[in-house]
Structure formats: structure tokens, C-alpha cells
Amino acid sequence: MLNKKIADLLNDQINKELYSAYLYLDISAYYLRKHLYGFAGWFKKQAAEETEHADKMMSYLAEQGEAIELKDVAHAGKTYKDLREPLAFQLEHEMYVTSLINAIYDAADEVNDRRTAHFLDWFIDEQTEEEATATALLRKFDLLAGDNRGLYELDAELGKR
Ligand code: FEO
């Protein structure tokens, strides 16, 4: 069994990960409507990764004999003013998720829950990677997507993910 606060935080984080999946599916839908199928596919895969993150947390809670609570997922529909904005928003969102993971880590540390802290190490590494990937994508967009040809090439590249 885990400390109740830790179990609650992990259940909240499952919801945030599923919200992240929903958010990225919404971004995928945005690019689909723009007929940028590479961008759309890239975000669809990103959404699938978020579901895997939720799944990892569900397995951990189950292994610890804790209840798994699947709560309502918030509405993710956003309006973007241009093709760049979802990419900037992704980076902002990943930085927010990093802050949530860090807060659970700190809470685990406070109650000497080394097992959960160790479990979260994977997520801390993953967040480093997610932020770096989102930053690189935004940078690439700024370098390449200034004209239609660059945008076409970036879309083709993203389609290979
Ligand atoms: Fe599950 Fe993109 O953080």
C-alpha cells in the first residue's frame, strides 16, 4: 500500500496523462483539417505515448494494491491562430507535465517513499526527452516552414515517425 496522498497524486496524474492524449488527438485533428497528414500522424503517435504513460501508472498502482480511479477527462478542444501555435502549446504543456511529475516526486520524498520515487525516475527522464523533442520540433518549424516548400518537406519528415 502507498501513502494516501501519493496514491491520490498518481491517480490525478493518470487523468493528466489521458488529458495529454486527448489534447494531442485534438492537435492531430487540427492538422488533419489542414491536410497536413505528417503533422497529424506525428501528434496521433504522441497521443498514443500519453496513453502508455497512463497505463504505466495504472500498472504501478495495481502492483501496490491501490485502487485505480479513472476520472472525467477535461475538454481539450482549442483554437489555434496558426500552424505554429499547437507546437508552442505542446512545449508549454510538457513543461507543465514536468512540474506535476516533480511535485509527485517531492511528495514521495517527503514520506520516504523510495519505491515511488524510483518508479518516477522513468517519467523524469521521459519529460526531459519530451521537452527536448517539442523544442526541436518548434525550432525546425521556425527554420523550415517559412514557405510552402519547407512546410511540405517538414510534413513529409514528420510523417515518417
Ligand atoms: Fe506524459 Fe508528454 O507527458
pLDDT (0 to 100) of residue 77: 85
Please give the Cα distance from 74 to 58 (Å, whole number). Answer: 19
Nearest ligand 1 atom to alpha carbon 46: 2
Buried b (16+ CB within 10 A) or exposed e, 134-149: beebbeebeebbeeee
pLDDT tens digits, 64-78 = 999 999 999 999 988
pLDDT tens digits, 136-155 = 999 999 999 889 999 999 99
Dihedral sign computed on CA atoms, order 130, 135, 138, 143: negative
pLDDT (0 to 100) of residue 78: 87
Tell me, in angstroms, the distance from the centre of ligand 1 to residue 134's CA: 11
Nearest ligand 1 atom to alpha carbon 126: 3
Mean pLDDT of the chain: 97
pLDDT tens digits, 102-141 = 999 999 999 999 999 999 999 999 999 999 999 999 999 9
The answer to whether the CB of 53 is under 6 A from ligand 1 is yes
pTM assigned to the model:
0.95
Tell me, in angstroms, the distance from the centre of ligand 1 to residue 74's CA: 16
| Contact predicate 32/44, CB 8 Å | no
Instruction: State the DSSP code for 81.
Output: S
Mean pLDDT of 4-31: 98
**Grid cell listed for 22:** 486527448
pLDDT tens digits, 48-61 = 999 999 999 999 99
Amino acid sitting at position 26: D
The answer to whether the CB of 155 is under 6 A from ligand 1 is no
